[in-house]
Amino acid sequence: MSSQPATPQRRITAPDIAAKKGVEPIVSLTAYHAHTAALADKYCDFLLVGDSLGMVMHGYETTVPVPLELMIMHGKAVVRGARRALIVVDMPFGSYEESPSVAFRNAARVMKETDCGAVKLEGGRRMAETIRYLVDRGIPVMAHIGLTPQSINVLGGFKVQGRTDAQWAALEADAQAVADAGAFSVVLEAIPAPLAERITRSIAIPTIGIGASADCDGQILVMEDMLGLSPRVPKFVKKYGTIGEQIEGAIRDYAEEVKQRAFPAVEHTYAMSATQAAAQKAAVAPNSAAKPRK
């Protein structure tokens, strides 16, 4: 047996992610729970505790109602489940837009309470000052531009962005602004592939595509979407599994077996102790052990 103590796993950091640009594709998924985080940890460079959890797990129509406390609760679970991947926690709507100092207070709370390695926030040029403020004070920031779901009420729906010349130019400027402000990476969501490619070539930080293009420096998907657990998914999702069907099939079989009294079977039940068994036997046939009378 080796007397060497096991080397503790070093967690991937935000600078490690930034350093992957031009070196190797960055793999990431969302994660909301400890058990799925543990499964994804080996394969992903970072796991995002996305505020999409409000829609995927909690049944909200949009991400707008998601409270900070919910992000912290799921953030803690994911940090406990994964030992290697960088954990990035989304700042929910209303927790950072007001001012850099409000953003710092809430982002610091997320970092302290979850022990995550970075936060993500939505917005380009309008958030540049805040990104700079957070980074200068020790909080690594991932930016998110293109389709920014927290702005759904302004955008008027989950629509592809960057399809007009004005939007295209605005998104290029947004990407440059968040990179200049010190973000360590930027999510590009639902934008035309040529725009994603152009931004990826023009900025110094990694782009993480979701509905963008294979030219991005990395990719992210909502785990439940790619597993086939979400009932409806956007066009950009490729389903790598049929977990929803498997879960429903298992529940259907269970319900049927309960109704048929086929579950639990003997192997799923507990036997009584030998003493209890002897006592029961004696109670059922009290004279059986006595000597027969002549």
Window 213-272: residues binding ligand KIV (CB under 6 A):
220, 222
78 binds ligand KIV (CB under 6 A): no
Q: CB under 6 A: which stretch of 45-53, 127-135, 158-166, 257-265 binds ligand KIV?
A: 45-53
One residue of 86, 187, 212, 227 binding ligand KIV per CB under 6 A? 187
User: Whose CB is nearest to ligand KIV?
Assistant: 50
Residue 194: how many CB atoms within 10 A of its CB? Answer: 12
Size of the site for ligand KIV (CB under 6 A): 12
Instruction: Using the minimum distance from each CB to ligand KIV, give the nearer residue, 10 or 235.
Output: 235
50 binds ligand KIV (CB under 6 A): yes
Name residues whose C-beta falls within 8 Å of residue 226's C-beta, 6 or more positions apart in sequence.
29, 237, 238, 239, 240, 241
Instruction: Using the minimum distance from each CB to ligand KIV, give the nearer residue, 55 or 134.
Output: 55
One residue of 36, 52, 200, 219 binding ligand KIV per CB under 6 A? 52
**Cα–Cα distance, 143 to 90 (Å, whole number):** 10
Peptide linkage before 264 cis (omega within 30 of 0): yes
Is 245 assigned a catalytic role?
A: no
43 class by beta-carbon count within 10 Å (0-12 exposed, 13-18 middle, 19+ buried): exposed
Instruction: Using the minimum distance from each CB to ligand KIV, give the nearer residue, 119 or 181.
Output: 119
**Three-state DSSP state, 268:** helix
Q: Which candidate in 122, 189, 224, 248 is catalytic? A: 189
Q: Could you tell me which of 136, 135, 142, 130 has the C-alpha nearest to residue 26? A: 142
90 binds ligand KIV (CB under 6 A): yes
Query: Shortest distance, CB of residue 44 to ligand KIV, whole angstroms?
Result: 13
**Three-state DSSP state, 145:** strand
**What single-letter amino acid sits at 198?**
R
Among all residues, which ones are annotated catalytic?
189
